[in-house]
Amino acid sequence: METWVLSRHDIAEIVAAVGRDDLMGRIIDRLAEGFAEIGRGARELSPLRDGFERTEPVRGIFEWMPHRDPGDSITLKTVGYSPGNPKHFGLPTIIGTVARYDDSTGALTALMDGVLLTALRTGAASAVASRLLARPDSRTLGLIGAGAQAVTQLHALSLVFPLERVLVWDTDPAHRDSFARRAAFTGIPVQCADPARIAAEADIITTATSVPTGGGPVLPDGPHREHLHINAVGADLIGKTELPLSLLRRAFVTADHPEQAHREGECQRLAPHQTGPGLTRLAAEPALAHERRGALTVFDSTGFAFEDALAMEVFLEAAAEHGLGSRLQIEHHPADTVDPYALEPLPVAAPARH
């Protein structure tokens, strides 16, 4: 059996062939549909992710995130979160791969990069939540954290709202000052602004930072628009949070994966009765979300493997459309299934002639 591999080159070719907007739009639509299916009971949430936390040589975590569609496939993302990567190694903060297996045989059927996929599906999830909870005429987006995730957050939200300006802040001046260049493809003007101004003027805010455990909040609980919606993306470790607890307690809070969010998201500081229905139920019953649009709302985005499985489907479909990817025989399937040494013989070299 062959494994369909999408290389770094294939991913670039997919983005070029499909276009950034269309690719992101497909993932937004696929996630909205998938969340609603979970909310209606037609599909199930992924299991909780797990992993290793390390402090040396670079602080971070390495996680595995599984999802199963019974009778079809199992998707497994392995992902490393290492905030020191850009500075120490010139690598992205988030590195990962996504693998798909046949649910009946366990055979590896597809393998691809998880760096771009993770950034796209995280932005798409915020777009789905914001489209449900934020005012449809939202025009000012605030970004706390101007790293890689901020680019796809802006991109996804720009496709579902009539954004006119972006206010951005990052504690790293290089990230803050380069964001306008990296986000120029959206065509939306970018201004640097401190967190207090962002809180006061934005209709929608996304927080996506590498704040250390116990280092938050990154957004002040000060004056804000009555209808403010916040996508809290950066809380992904026990003890790591970005929002003030006083703000959370005043807000209507929904989570992508409630159990996981109460363990390691913003919701880890809230009791279950202090949060609203999960995002999947809101996607299935939009009226529950729309009635909250005039007040403060928070989407606690921890990310789960179902999102990765859906985003992978979009990439594989695009690869099929454009004839991309390679078929490799990665797994050893012996000729005699009960003899692991039944290897395919190597070609015998012809004897040399003298």
- Residues with active-site annotation: 77
In whole angstroms, give the CA distance from residue 187 to residue 178. Answer: 15
Burial class (CB in 10 A: 0-12, 13-18, 19+), 34: buried
In whole angstroms, give the CA distance from residue 113 to residue 192. Answer: 32
DSSP 8-state secondary structure symbol assigned to residue 349: P
DSSP 8-state secondary structure symbol assigned to residue 208: -
Q: At a CB cut-off of 8 Å and minimum separation 6, what does 226 contact?
A: 294, 295, 296
DSSP 8-state secondary structure symbol assigned to residue 295: S
**What is the distance, to the nearest Å, from the Cα of residue 96 to the centroid of all Cα atoms in its chain?**
12
Q: At a CB cut-off of 8 Å and minimum separation 6, what does 207 contact?
A: 144, 145, 218, 219, 230, 231, 232, 233, 234, 242, 243
Nearest to 298, CA basis, from 216, 199, 211, 215: 199
In whole angstroms, give the CA distance from residue 113 to residue 77. Answer: 10
**What is the distance, to the nearest Å, from the Cα of residue 304 to the centroid of all Cα atoms in its chain?**
8
Q: At a CB cut-off of 8 Å and minimum separation 6, what does 279 contact?
A: 35, 125, 128, 129, 132, 254, 255, 256, 299
Q: Are 143 and 175 in contact, with CB atoms under 8 Å apart?
A: no
Q: Are 283 and 32 in contact, with CB atoms under 8 Å apart?
A: yes
